[in-house]
């Protein structure tokens, strides 16, 4: 098992292997992401019952929660890829980190905007400086900082290193976001989905949410793979195997 993982790790470092391998995945990933998004949205928006207190406005959860989860997962992936680049100097890891940053930032922005739209009718305000909302805003700024650093310097390598270091420093924000609602008094409610307990949500409302979460992660995988392939083509454009692809 360990041997296999090491071999996979070495292969992932090869742009050519990654490019050829993912060729076959794109279609199925797109199909799975699109299909599950349609199923999840139809179930969530049309078939799930309205909430006993919020009525229909709770349905924004089907966008808000997957986007917020993904924004945090993407950040962790970006930081790990950055660490791999700093330690092993693997070019692929740097490209993956660079490719993830804008996607994660977009999902973070979606989470913040949908949260504000939901907050107005539910809480009575668009925004409040509580620990959860503020730490999520910090995540967005961290994404912006990493994106800026990744392109800040003359040498590509130095920029990637700077971006990776900021990403690793910002990693401390992730547990703060997660536990903000437990450590401090916040306006934002505690998590509905818990890893160790039963979710505090009716099954008819829960299933569309779980489908939407899976769909969002699939979509993220698809986008990251597509963008990494572009990055590979650009950086390896002078290599023989890329020229062959471009000519055909």
Partner 1 sequence: MHPQRKKRLHLILFLVLAVASAVGLAMYSLSQNINLFQTPTQIANGEVPPGRTIRAGGLVVEGSVERDQQGLGVTFRVTDGQSEVPVFYDGILPDLFREGQGIVALGEVNTEGLFVASEVLAKHDENYMPPEVQAALEQAHQDGKAQMEAAAKEASY
Give one word for 28, left, alpha or beta, with left for phi > 0 and alpha for psi -120 to 50.
alpha
Rounded distance, CA 191 to CA 124, Å?
20
Q: How far apart are CA 126 and CA 9, in angstroms?
A: 45
- Measure the CA–CA gap between 37 and 21, rounded to whole angstroms: 25
Cα maximum dimension of the chain: 63
The secondary structure element, H or E, covering residue 37 is helix 25-42
Residues forming beta bridges with residue 55, ordered by sequence position: 51
Q: Which is nearer to partner 1, 116 or 168 (CB)?
A: 168
- Shorter beta-carbon distance to partner 1: residue 184 or 234: 184
Task: Report the candidate in 162, 113, 171 with the shortest Cα–Cα distance to residue 139.
Answer: 171
Least Å distance, CB 219 to partner 1, is: 24
The distance of closest approach from Cβ of residue 55 to partner 1 in the complex, given in angstroms and rounded to an integer, is 9
- Residue 122 CB, nearest approach to partner 1 (Å): 5
Asked if 29 contacts 35 with a C-beta cutoff of 8 angstroms, the reply is no
User: Position of tokens 């590979």?
Assistant: 232
By beta-carbon proximity to partner 1, the closer residue of 20 and 56 is 56
Q: How far is the CB of 223 from partner 1 (least distance, A)?
A: 27
Residue closer to partner 1 by CB (options 108, 131) is 131
d(CA 97, CA 192): 30
Which residue, 37 or 79, is less far from partner 1 as judged by CB?
79
Q: Which is nearer to partner 1, 25 or 88 (CB)?
A: 88
Q: Going by C-beta distance under 8 Å and a sequence separation of 6 or more, which residues neighbour residue 56?
A: 50
Which residues make up the interface to partner 1 (CB under 8 A)? Answer: 49-54, 58, 61, 83, 86-88, 121-125, 128-131, 165, 168-169, 171-172, 176, 183-187, 189-192, 200-202, 204-205
User: First CA to last CA across the chain, in angstroms?
Assistant: 38
Q: CB within 8 A of 77, min separation 6: which ones?
A: 96, 100
Task: Select 14 or 122, whichever has its Cβ closest to partner 1.
Answer: 122
């Amino acid at each position: 098992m360990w041997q296999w993982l090491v071999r996979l790790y070495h292969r992932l470092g090869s742009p050519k292997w990654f490019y050829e391998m993912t060729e076959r995945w794109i279609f199925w990933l797109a199909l799975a992401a699109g299909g599950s998004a349609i199923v999840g949205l139809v179930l969530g928006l049309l078939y799930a019952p309205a909430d006993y207190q919020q009525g229909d406005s709770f349905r924004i959860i089907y966008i808000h929660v997957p986007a917020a989860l993904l924004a945090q997962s993407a950040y962790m992936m970006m930081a790990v890829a950055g660490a791999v680049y700093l330690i092993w100097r693997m070019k692929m890891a740097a490209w993956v980190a660079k490719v993830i940053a804008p996607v994660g930032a977009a999902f973070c922005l979606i989470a913040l905007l949908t949260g504000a739209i939901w907050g107005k009718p539910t809480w009575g305000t668009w925004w409040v400086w509580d620990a959860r909302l503020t730490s999520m805003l910090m995540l967005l700024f961290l994404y912006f900082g990493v994106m800026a650093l990744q392109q800040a310097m003359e040498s590509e390598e130095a920029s990637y290193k700077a971006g990776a270091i900021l990403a690793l420093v910002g990693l401390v924000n992730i547990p703060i976001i997660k536990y903000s609602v437990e450590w401090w008094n916040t306006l934002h409610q505690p998590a509905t989905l818990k890893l160790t307990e039963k979710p505090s949500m009716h099954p008819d409302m829960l299933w569309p949410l779980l489908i939407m979460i899976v769909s969002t992660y699939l979509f993220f995988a698809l986008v990251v793979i597509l963008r990494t392939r572009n990055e590979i083509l650009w950086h390896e454009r002078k290599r023989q195997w890329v020229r062959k692809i471009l000519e055909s």
